[in-house]
Amino acid sequence: MIIAAADGSALGNPGPAGWAWYVADDCWAAGGWKHSTNNVGELTAVLELFRATAHLDDELLVQCDSQYVINSVTKWMPGWKRKGWRKADGKPVMNLEILQELDAALVGRRYRFEWVKGHVGHPMNEAADERARAAAESFRSGLPVPSGPGWSGACIGEPDAAAPATAGPEPAASAAAPEPSAHDDRSPADATFFDFDDPTADWLTMSLDLTVDEHTRLLERARAAGQSPEEFLRGLI
């Protein structure tokens, strides 16, 4: 599985904008525009990630802090297509061209999305956010845009070795999900990983069975985060 983060940034929203996807420090890409919106940056980051990995058969896990992007792909897009790319109120879908390109890029791909809260220190999300913002700032300043190495030989092998273990649930499809009018980073109702019987308990014990490969990856990710495996797992939960 390829684990990647995708993010967008717009200074002023709209304003100088950037996008970025990130797998590792030697496997990422970024770009942007002189004037665009945050949602365009978020969508483009995901689109460019799918394009960069189109030659691979690996499952792709996209970590994203944008509910707009996740819901567009997993909930709303089928209904939009049936209605001729119009929303429930009959108005045209915004960012239509990018959404149609993304719809085409998803064909035949194995993928899922994981919502992560932005700007709280999530390593992968922060790395993508920093690169997207750097692209936006470069356009604002008229400086060369740090576009990254892209997908190269350095991405092959263990592309997700620096990534934290993933634990969030896949966003559930729902035809009744409300359509957004703007970028929304609030936690979706189904973003809670566990629903304990006693939410007031100070301490709860749980056991987790891991394969040898999963345990090795957990140790690597915990070490990269400067934490013990136990502390790392507690942070995910």
Catalytic residues: 7-8, 42, 65, 119, 129
Dihedral pair phi/psi, residue 54, rounded to 5°: -60, -25
Please compute Rg for the chain using Cα positions. 18
Bridge partners of residue 32, in order along the sequence: 18
Bridge partners of residue 62, in order along the sequence: 4, 113
Q: Where are the beta strands (DSSP E) in 91-229?
A: 111-115
136-156: buried (b, 16+ CB within 10 Å) or exposed (e) per residue?
A: bbbbbeeeebbebeebeeebe
> CA torsion sign, 141 to 117 to 3 to 121?
positive
User: 38-52 vs 123-141: helix axis angle to the nearest 10?
Assistant: 110
Residue 143 in 3-state DSSP?
coil
Q: Using DSSP bridges, classify how beta strands 15-24 and 2-10 pair: parallel, antiparallel or unpaired.
A: antiparallel
Q: For residue 55, what are the contacts with CB-CB under 8 A and spacing of at least 6?
A: none
Residue 222 in 3-state DSSP?
helix
Bridge partners of residue 33, in order along the sequence: 17
Closest to 53 in 3D by CA, of 109, 129, 96, 107 = 109
